């Protein structure tokens, strides 16, 4: 994978997004406007975008790859591609949509290239959020030994069946469930209409429900 020659360690030692507020007033600008500033040579705008999207992109990659080091490497590649595209960037879609499209393509390509190395544990829908420590599938309280065993069986089944979904369905579920993206945003990333995106997610969730009937 390419490394960043212009900005080595691009995701390290990035100042907080608010640090550039005074110099560039980026907090009151649209991301697309900041990209136009970058195209004009304002590198502070690039640092601001990295600070703003670094964690979400790493988390998104981690959901697909389930390897922290690889997720960070792929996130670096995402921002490298953003930088390389600065001269040709056109604000035709939301910046975040464009950014997640780059991330999705990289994640899918990586998954294809390393498919023989992956196991059923590659994707964890139950992975605790790194900031809150909570999981969407865990109830409060300490479960009994039997409940813990059933939960582990259920989560293992979820992993296997999500991994088995067709690529677009898998990406759509990850964006919908964990990134909180709506149908239109997901459709923009996957280049689908809103109705096609709804249909894609419906089929994905229906497949998961059918496969997980015994755990419901």
For residue 159, give the CATH number of its domain. Answer: 1.10.10.10
How many independent structural domains does the chain possess? 2
SS3 letters across the chain: CCCCCCCCCCCCCCCCHHHHHHHHCHHHCCHHHHHHHHHCCCHHHHHHHHHHHHHHHHHHHHHHHCCHHHHHHHHHHHHHHHHHCCCCCCCCCCHHHHHHHHHHHHHHHHHHHCHHHCCCCCCCCCCCCCCCCCCCCCCCCCCCHHHHHHHHHHHHHHHHHHHHCCHHHHHHHHHHHHCCCCHHHHHHHHCCCHHHHHHHHHHHHHHHHHHCHHHC
Q: Is 180 left (phi over 0), alpha (psi -120 to 50) or beta?
A: left
Domain boundary among 118, 135, 160: 118
- What pLDDT, on a 0 to 100 scale, did the predictor assign at position 158? 73
Specify the pLDDT at position 211: 81
At residue 91, the pLDDT reads 80
The whole-number pLDDT of residue 10 equals 57
125 inside domain: no
Rounded to a whole number of angstroms, the CA Rg of the chain reads: 19
User: Residue 141: inside a domain, yes or no?
Assistant: no
Over residues 39-59, the pLDDT tens digits come to 888 889 999 999 999 999 999
Are 129 and 171 a contacting pair, CB within 8 Å?
Answer: no
Same domain, 179 and 110: no
Ranges in the chain, pLDDT < 70: 1-24, 115-144, 146-147, 150-151, 154, 214-216
Residues 114 and 173 in one domain: no
Domain around 80:
13-118
pLDDT at 90: 83
d(CA 106, CA 1): 10
Same domain, residue pair 113 and 150 = no
CA separation for the pair 97, 150 (Å, rounded)? 38
pLDDT of residue 73: 93
Determine if the pTM surpasses 0.85. Answer: no
**Per-residue pLDDT at 174:** 84
**Residue at 137 is within a domain:** no
- Residue 110 and residue 153 in one domain: no
Residues 101, 150 within the same domain: no
The reported pLDDT for the residue numbered 121 is 39
Residue 163 lies in a domain: yes
Would residue 48 count as lying in a domain? yes
Residue 189 lies in a domain: yes
Would you state the pLDDT for residue 23? Answer: 44
| Residues 98 and 58 both lie in one domain | yes
Give the pLDDT of residue 152. 72
Residue 4: inside a domain: no
The verdict on 82 and 178 lying in the same domain is no
């Amino acid at each position: 994978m390419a490394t960043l020659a212009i900005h080595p360690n691009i995701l390290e030692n990035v100042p907080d997004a608010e640090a550039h507020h005074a110099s560039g007033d980026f907090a009151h600008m649209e991301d697309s406007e900041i990209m136009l500033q970058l195209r004009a040579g304002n590198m502070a705008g690039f640092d601001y975008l990295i600070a703003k999207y670094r964690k979400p992109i790493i988390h998104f990659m981690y959901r697909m790859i389930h390897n922290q080091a690889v997720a960070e490497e792929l996130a670096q590649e995402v921002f490298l591609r953003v930088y390389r595209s600065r001269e040709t960037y056109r604000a035709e879609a939301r910046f975040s949509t464009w950014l997640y499209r780059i991330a999705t393509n990289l994640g899918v390509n990586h998954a294809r290239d390393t498919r023989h190395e992956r196991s059923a544990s590659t994707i964890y829908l139950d992975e605790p959020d790194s900031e809150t420590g909570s999981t969407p599938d865990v109830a409060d309280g300490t479960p009994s030994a039997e409940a813990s065993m059933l939960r582990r069986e259920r989560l293992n089944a979820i992993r296997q069946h999500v991994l088995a979904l067709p690529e677009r369905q898998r990406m759509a579920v990850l964006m919908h469930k964990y990134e909180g993206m709506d149908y239109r945003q997901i459709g923009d990333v996957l280049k689908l209409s809103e109705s096609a995106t709804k249909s894609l997610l419906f089929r994905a969730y229906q497949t998961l429900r059918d496969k997980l009937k015994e755990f419901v």
